[in-house]
Amino acid sequence: MDGTFPIGARAVSSDVTFLAIDPSTDTRIEPAFAVSSEADVGEACKLADAAFDLFRETDPEVRAVFLETIADEIEAIHEPLVARAIQESGLPRPRLEGERGRTTGQLRLFAKHLRAGTWASVVIDEAQPDRKPMPRSDLRQRRIAVGPVAVFGASNFPLAFSVAGGDTASALAAGCPVVVKGHPAHPGTSVMVGKAIQAAVAKCGLPEGVFSLVQGPANELGAALVKDARIKAVGFTGSRGGGLALVALAAARPEPIPVYAEMSSINPVILFPAALAARGEALGKAYVGSLTMGSGQFCTNPGIVVAVDGPDLDTFVDAAAGALGEAAPQVMLTPGIHASYDKGVAALAGHDAVQTLARGTEAEGANRGRAALFSTTGKAFVADPALSHEVFGAASIIVRCTDLAEVHSVLEKIEGQLTITLQIDEGDHADAAALLPTLERKAGRILANGWPTGVEVAPAMVHGGPFPATSDPRTTSVGTAAIERFLRPVCYQDLPDALLPKAVKHGNPLVLPRTEG
Ligand SMILES: NC(=O)C1=CN([C@@H]2O[C@H](COP(=O)(O)OP(=O)(O)OC[C@H]3O[C@@H](n4cnc5c(N)ncnc54)[C@H](OP(=O)(O)O)[C@@H]3O)[C@@H](O)[C@H]2O)C=CC1
Ligand SMILES: O=C(O)CCC(=O)C(=O)O
């Protein structure tokens, strides 16, 4: 691997370089990667803009084959890619092998979605020349790509939410050229995937500006990308501060653009009385499994459990505390993320209204995250918003409530969420039904008798939710519906067939599904 990054068809180098850090040893690792300049950002955006009209009008089949070619190119570098991602993220091999599969599976799912054609939302209202009192025009609607898209790679998913992750796959599927700002925690992984996409662009004979990657350790680079007038939408997964900074930059542009930022979520788990009575111990153990997986570095991590206090909750708490007390420390993604985890845990441990129930085993080695389990009361939780802030990592707080009415008050108090999980048995259905309208207002995904981590990439998935889970609650960043973020409707009124795009021509040459008005 060399240290260049792909801009269009070129491999760009620079005298200014940076090194990745292996978080497991806190040591810098070779090779040195070129730091992209603001001029590189400008060049990437210029090429993306030049590619746009041609790329967006490619037949869906051409883009489907392109996405499949990217998947093939990534599979061809599977072993070195996974090895490098392990080094740069500290994540274990099985997790990264799975993530590689999820990444290529996601690309292929979008290819299938393109072939199905529903994404184009073609609606035809045939002319009614004899309508009284006024004739109706011929109206034809389809959706087109919004323009070049900026994608920010996430630190916690070096493959599935990064260079060829869900944001990139959905934007390319829509027909938007993509400029990725790689996460500085995994530059080697980003460059390897970036070059795989570059190779796929060439193999498919597409314009070079369809894809570029810029990267470097300073956030001015990302800011320059969002401010570039040729960028028309942004996809982001990361911190609340980072996401909000990008939203502010995009809103301050002469031409404001949408930012689809997936940010902070504490993913409440509600234990209902009958379920708690029937299987409190098993639930306690399973909860710790979900909480500590991947050192808790998921935005879907169960950061809060809410239940009515009593002996059944004690059984759950004892089982959870016992399991968590045996949880081995795991390497966290970056020294910064580890430091902010420790700070968040220390703040909870030092809070007057919070009791520390258990800590994972002692951490040895660099950047090891020690799991942490806390409890508080419903009253204290409602009184102090600080108790509901996300601590990114394997830390969670159990909120003991006096009754179901207090459970409801706690849920009313929480901010928007990616997920809310219900642990319910049949005897809980009436109580759960009473809560459902609140839960729908608060979350993008409501699940029963499972755990929120591990998002299925599927057409019905919603990985989104009200602020601060995301900056736009109307969409999802996972699943085929993610393509809708990067499309907009255009209506053609009375255009002669010769001028109509293929998607809405009278003969329907692309064989797209149509709604007839
Ligand atoms: N909820 C979630 O899904 C996740 C939450 N996090 C949270 O984020 C914290 C930090 O992790 P990290 O992944 O680095 O997330 P950040 O939000 O800090 O960074 C993500 C990306 O956005 C860029 N960025 C951040 N702020 C700005 C800005 N003001 N202007 C322009 N670009 C910006 C970063 O660039 P640069 O690094 O160059 O600044 C990076 O490429 C974690 O401790 C955790 O709390 C992290 C991952 C996922
Ligand atoms: O749980 C998952 O699979 C996805 C989590 C996620 O989107 C994230 O952590 O950013």
The 10s digit of each residue's pLDDT in 31-45 is 999 999 999 999 999
Q: Is the CB of 161 under 6 A from ligand 2?
A: yes
Q: How confident is the model at residue 1 (pLDDT cuts 50, 70, 90)?
A: confident
Q: Which of 299, 390, 406, 415 is catalytic?
A: 299
Mean pLDDT of 445-465: 97
The ligand with the least distance to the CA atom of 296 is 2
Which of these, 511, 495, 491, lies nearest to 503 by C-alpha position? 511
pLDDT score of 364: 82
Asked whether the ipTM of the predicted complex exceeds the cut of 0.90, the reply is yes
Max CA separation in the chain (angstroms): 81
Q: Of all atoms in ligand 2, which is nearest to the CA of residue 463?
A: 7
**397: its two tokens:** 């707080």
The protein residue whose alpha carbon is closest to atom 10 in ligand 2 is 299
Interatomic CA distance for residues 490 and 469, integer angstroms: 30
Torsion of CA 330, 336, 340, 346, to 10 degrees: 70
Q: DSSP for 456-511, please give it.
A: --STT-----STTSBS-TT--SSSGGGGGGGEEEEEEES--GGGS-GGG-TT-TT-
Structural tokens at position 23: 């978080």
Beta carbons of 480 and 486 less than 8 angstroms apart: no
Q: How far is the CA of 238 from the centre of ligand 1 (A)?
A: 4
Confidence of residue 163 (pLDDT cuts 50, 70, 90): very high
Residue 352 three-state SS: coil
Do the beta carbons of residue 63 and residue 173 sit within 8 Å? yes
Give exposure, 167-204, as e/b (b: 16+ Cβ within 10 Å).
bbbbbbbbbbbbbbbbbbbbbbbbbbbbbbbbbbbeeb
pTM here? 0.97
Counting ligand 2 atoms within 8 A of each CB, the residue from 157, 237, 264, 470 with the most, and so the one to mutate, is 157
Predicted confidence band of residue 78 (pLDDT cuts 50, 70, 90): very high
Q: Using the predicted structure, report yes or no on whether residue 341 has a pLDDT greater than 80.
A: yes
From ligand 1's centre to the CA of 496, what distance in Å?
Answer: 49
- Look at the chain and count its residues: 517
Model confidence pLDDT, tens digit, residues 15-70:
999 999 999 999 999 999 999 999 999 999 999 999 999 999 999 999 999 999 99
Q: Which element (helix H / strand E) includes 306?
A: strand 304-308
d(CA 231, CA 290): 38
The answer, yes or no, to whether residue 286 has pLDDT greater than 90, is: yes
Given phi > 0 = left and psi -120 to 50 = alpha, else beta, which region is 271? beta
What kind and span of H or E run contains 267? Answer: none
Between the CA of 453 and the centroid of ligand 2 the distance, in Å, is 7
Percent of the chain past pLDDT 70, that is, above it, reads 100
What's the pLDDT at 404?
97
Ligand 1 midpoint to CA 141 (Å): 38
Tokens of 252: 């301050």
Closest atom, ligand 2, to C-alpha of 478: 7
Ligand 2 pocket test target in 161, 262, 391, 461 with most atoms within 8 Å of CB: 161
Q: Which atom of ligand 2 is nearest to the CA of 154?
A: 10
Structure tokens that stand for 391 in this block:
């601590």
Ligand 2 center to 128 CA (angstroms): 50
Phi, psi dihedral angles at 42 (to 5 degrees): -60, -45
Label residues 446-484 b or e (16+ Cβ within 10 Å = b).
beeeebbbebebeeebbbbbbbbbbbbeebbbbbbbbbb
Task: Collect all residues with Cβ–Cβ distance below 8 Å to 130 and sequence separation of at least 6.
Answer: none
Average pLDDT over residues 470-484: 98
Residue 188 has pLDDT above 90, yes or no: yes
d(CA 64, CA 48): 19
The pLDDT assigned to 82 comes to 98
Q: Is the CB of 218 under 6 A from ligand 1?
A: yes
Residues 294/85, Cβ–Cβ less than 8 Å: no
Q: In a mutational test of the pocket of ligand 1, which residue from 155, 240, 297, 345 has the highest number of ligand atoms less than 8 Å from its CB?
A: 155
406 is catalytic: no
Q: Is the CB of 451 under 6 A from ligand 2?
A: no
pLDDT at 363 over 80: no
H/E run at residue 516: strand 514-516
399 band by pLDDT with thresholds 50, 70 and 90: very high
Residue-wise pLDDT tens digits, 205-240: 999 999 999 999 988 999 999 999 999 999 999 999
- Rounded CA-CA distance 217/321 in Å is 39
Q: Please, is 515 exposed, middle or buried when counting C-beta atoms within 10 Å of its C-beta (0-12, 13-18, 19+)?
A: exposed
Q: Give the H/E segment covering residue 9.
A: none
Strands (E), 168-287: 178-181, 211-214, 233-237, 259-262, 268-271
pLDDT at 314: 98
Atom of ligand 1 nearest to the CA of 245: 29
CA of 183 to the centre of ligand 2 (A): 16
Here the tokens at position 88 are: 């740069």
What burial letters (b/e) apply to 318-344, b meaning 16+ CB within 10 Å? ebbbebbeebebbbbbbeebbebbbeb
Indicate if 45 belongs to the active site.
Answer: no
Tokens of residue 122, six digits: 């073609």
**Residue 154 C-alpha to ligand 1 middle, in angstroms?**
7
Sorting pLDDT into bands at 50, 70 and 90, what band is 87?
very high
Helix axes 166-174, 93-116, angle to 10 degrees: 20
User: Distance (Å, rounded) from C-alpha 174 to C-alpha 176?
Assistant: 6
- State the average pLDDT for the chain: 97
Query: Phi, psi (5° rounding) for residue 451?
Result: -135, 150
- The whole-number pLDDT of residue 327 equals 97
| Nearest atom, ligand 1, residue 226 CA | 31
Q: What is the pLDDT of residue 291?
A: 98
Active-site annotation holder among 68, 88, 262, 415: 262
Ligand 2 pocket, 237 CB below 6 A? yes
The pLDDT value recorded for residue 321 is 98
pLDDT per position as a tens digit, 370-395: 999 999 999 999 999 999 999 999 99
pLDDT band at residue 271 under the 50/70/90 scheme? very high
**Ligand 2 pocket check for 455: Cβ under 6 Å:** yes
Tell me, using a 6 A CB cutoff, whether residue 357 lines ligand 1.
Answer: no
Phi, psi angle pair for 491, to nearest 5°: -110, 135
Q: Find the helix or strand (DSSP H, E) in which 145 lies.
A: strand 139-145
